[in-house]
C-alpha cells in the first residue's frame, strides 16, 4: 500500500534519491543532504507547532510504499510564500503607447517584476517516480496535501499558488532564461536553478531587472517559452488544473513557466471532500471493493497525518467501511472520522 505521511529525518537518504532525479527547476528539492535535512527539520517543527495563522511553516510529505519500505514520491506546502524573504514573479501587463498628433495607439505586452503573490500558501516539491506518472498514485501525492489543508484551514492562506517548471531543452537550456536572466548572470539556466536550490531564489531575483521588460523585444524562442510547461511537470499542471487552479497573470522569473492560482474555497479536493465516520470491516482482507470507485482518504491529524487511495463503495450520509489494513494504515479505529473525496 502507498501511504502519504509527513517526512521524518530518517527519510533523508531516500528523499535525496528522489531529489536527484527531479527535473531542473524544482529548486525546492535540491540534491543536497544539508538542505534537505534542514527542509525535513523545518517540516517536523511545523507539524508539531501550535498555529493559529499561516506564517513561516513548511509542511513536507512523502509517499511511502509500506510493503517495499521505500519512498516513491514527495510533495510540500509552504504556509505563506515570501514570509521570510520576497516571493518574486513576473506579472503580465499591457502598456499603452499613444500619440494623438500621430494618431498612434499601441498596446504593448510587458513583464513587470513583482511580489504580488507574497502571503499566499505555496504548493512545492512535487515528485513521483516515473512509473507512477499518470497513475492515480500521482493524484494521491498531489491532492493528499490539499486534504491536509482542508483539515487544518487555520494554518494556510485563503489562496494557494504554485510555480510550474517551465520549458527547457534536453541540454537543460531555457530560452527564457537565456533572453533575460543570462544577461545579468554569466551562468546557464541549470546552474542558476542549482544555486537557487542551495541558497535561495531571492539573491538572484534581486539582481534581475526591476523595470518593465518589453516582450516584443525578446527573441521569438523566449516569447514562445512564456507560460509553457516542462514535459516532466505536465502531470502536476494537469492535476491542479482539474482541481480548479487557473494560470492567472504571472510567470516564473527564471524559466517563464506558468504560476497557477486558486482560492481555497474553490479547490475541488477541499470543497467536495466530506468528513465521515469509520466502520472497520474486520472480515474483508483486500482494499478493492466490488462495484466501488477510487477515493482519497485522510485521517485529518497533524504529526500522524496519513492519506491513502482506496476503492470504496461509499453512500453519502453513511459511514465509510474500511478494511482492517486500511484502518491501520490511516491510524484510525471504529467510530473515528476520516476525510474522503472521489478521485
Catalytic positions are 230
Q: How far apart are CA 47 and CA 38, in angstroms?
A: 14
CA–CA distances in Å: residue 174 to residues 22, 81, 103, 217, 232: 17, 25, 39, 17, 15
Residue 82 has φ and ψ, to the nearest 5°, of: 75, 20
* Chain centroid, CA 142 distance in Å: 7
H-helix or E-strand containing 190? helix 189-198
E-assigned strands of 164-318? 213-214, 250-251, 259-263, 274-281, 293-298, 307-312
Q: How far apart are CA 335 and CA 278, in angstroms?
A: 5
Amino acid at each position: 500500500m502507498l501511504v502519504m505521511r509527513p517526512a521524518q529525518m530518517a527519510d533523508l537518504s531516500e528523499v535525496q534519491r528522489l531529489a536527484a532525479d527531479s527535473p531542473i527547476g524544482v529548486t525546492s528539492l535540491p540534491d543536497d543532504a544539508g538542505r534537505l535535512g534542514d527542509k525535513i527539520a523545518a517540516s517536523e517543527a511545523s507539524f508539531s507547532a501550535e498555529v493559529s495563522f499561516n506564517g513561516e511553516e513548511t509542511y513536507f510529505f512523502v509517499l511511502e510504499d509500506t510493503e517495499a519500505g521505500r519512498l516513491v514520491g514527495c510533495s510540500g506546502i509552504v504556509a505563506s510564500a515570501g514570509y521570510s524573504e520576497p516571493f518574486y514573479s513576473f506579472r503580465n501587463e499591457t502598456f499603452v503607447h499613444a500619440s494623438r498628433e500621430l494618431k498612434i495607439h499601441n498596446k504593448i505586452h510587458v513583464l513587470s517584476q513583482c511580489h504580488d503573490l507574497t502571503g499566499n500558501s505555496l504548493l512545492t516539491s512535487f515528485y513521483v517516480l516515473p512509473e507512477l506518472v499518470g497513475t492515480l498514485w500521482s493524484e494521491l501525492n498531489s491532492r493528499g496535501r490539499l486534504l491536509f489543508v482542508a483539515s487544518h484551514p487555520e494554518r494556510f492562506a485563503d489562496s494557494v499558488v504554485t510555480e510550474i517548471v517551465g520549458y527547457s531543452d534536453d541540454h537543460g537550456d531555457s530560452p527564457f532564461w537565456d533572453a533575460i536572466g543570462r544577461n545579468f548572470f554569466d551562468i546557464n539556466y541549470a546552474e542558476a536553478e542549482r544555486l537557487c536550490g542551495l541558497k535561495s531564489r531571492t539573491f538572484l531575483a534581486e539582481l534581475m531587472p526591476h523595470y518593465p521588460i518589453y516582450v516584443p523585444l525578446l527573441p521569438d524562442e523566449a516569447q514562445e517559452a512564456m507560460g509553457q510547461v516542462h514535459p516532466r511537470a505536465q502531470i502536476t499542471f494537469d492535476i491542479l488544473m482539474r482541481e480548479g487552479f487557473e494560470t492567472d497573470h504571472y510567470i516564473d522569473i527564471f524559466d517563464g513557466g506558468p504560476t497557477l492560482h486558486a482560492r481555497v474555497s474553490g479547490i475541488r479536493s477541499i470543497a467536495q471532500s466530506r468528513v465521515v465516520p469509520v466502520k472497520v470491516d474486520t472480515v474483508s482482507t483486500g482494499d478493492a471493493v466490488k462495484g466501488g470507485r477510487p477515493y482519497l482518504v485522510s485521517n485529518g491529524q497533524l504529526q500522524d497525518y496519513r492519506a491513502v487511495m482506496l476503492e470504496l463503495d461509499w453512500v453519502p450520509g453513511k459511514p465509510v467501511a474500511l478494511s482492517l489494513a486500511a484502518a491501520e494504515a490511516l491510524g484510525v479505529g471504529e467510530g473515528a472520522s476520516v476525510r474522503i473525496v472521489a478521485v
